[in-house]
Amino acid sequence: MGILVELKSKKNNLTKTEKSLADYIIDHTEEVVYMSIYQLAGTVDTSIPTVTRLVKKLGYHGFRDFKIALASEITLVNRNNDVVNNPDSGIDLVDKLFNKNINNLQDTKSLLETDKLIDLCKIIAKSKKVVLFGVGASSIVAQYAALRFAHIDIQAEAYSDALMMLISAKRLDKNCVAIGISHSGRTAMVIKAIEMAKKNGAKTVGLSNYLESPLSRVCDFLFCTAYPENKVSSVALSSNIAQLAIIDTMYLLAARNITKKWDIEEIDNIIDELIRV
């Protein structure tokens, strides 16, 4: 896992001073590479022990080792710069946007705990019902996931309304799976629905952009995307791409664990007749 990806995913679990330090490193990566530990601490108005504590949390013996590793990521940082405000040609913007999404998918894959994902999909394949919760853009991902699971004869439902979330969560039991989708991991109604589902014995799953968040603390399984914060993320640079990639992986892994598959060809033929000319 890259340093910047780990810093972004763990920010919510850092102290206030560590978070300020992490933000500065993310925003000034190239400058930090050439700073001494004294300069960095002075610039961020923090202490040398705070800098040392943060780099050790990231798995480095000291600040020098941290800087060497950070230097190797500068190219990636440059590729991930804001492409909308860059005065490039339209062709360059398209290239950068696609490269940005490719990089973020690769970073998401590096965060993915494959063994846990495989274990979860075995549970999904045998579950009585899968219920997904999401608000805003996350609700679109939830609806997409419900459709994918239904395609392989898994009863799946998606909810974005707060009351329906709570009612459906209340009806779950140990044979069900509840999946909460929240980029921030802090969507209150999603967290409450997952808490209720867990209380009733359902397996709970979180899909978020942060390894440490309120959502992560109420889930049996957590899968994290690695999409960097961006001023226009709600428009073109949405983390939904990485979320959908994880959902598609869940769908395929669950399908492999279903022994008796229904014949979907009849439905496909009807769809061909109804919507294709």
- Name which residue leads in pLDDT, 225 or 77: 225
Answer whether 3-79 and 110-256 agree in fold.
Answer: no
| Per-residue CA distances from 75 to 78, 80, 217, 233 (Å) | 5, 9, 34, 21
Q: Domain 110-256 class?
A: alpha beta
Distance CA 18, CA 127 (A): 41
First to last CA, the chain: 47
Q: Cβ atoms within 10 A of the Cβ of 92, count?
A: 12
Residues 6+ positions from 9 with CB-CB distance below 8 Å: 111, 209, 210, 211, 212, 224, 226
Flag whether pLDDT at 129 surpasses 70: yes
Distance CA 237, CA 234 (A): 7
DSSP at 228:
P
Rounded average pLDDT over 149-154:
92
Rounded to 5 degrees, what are φ and ψ at 62? Answer: -165, 180
Q: 3-79: what fold?
A: Arc Repressor Mutant, subunit A (1.10.10)
The domain ranges of the chain are 3-79, 110-256
Q: Which helix (H) or strand (E) holds 208?
A: strand 203-208
| Per-residue CA distances from 183 to 27, 203, 215, 252 (Å) | 20, 20, 10, 23
DSSP β-bridge partners for residue 134: 181
Distance CA 216, CA 146 (A): 21
pLDDT digits (tens, 9 = 90+) for 28-63: 888 898 899 999 999 999 999 999 999 998 888 899
Residues 6+ positions from 23 with CB-CB distance below 8 Å: 11
Flag whether pLDDT at 81 surpasses 60: no
Query: What's the pLDDT band for 161 if we cut at 50, 70, 90?
Result: very high
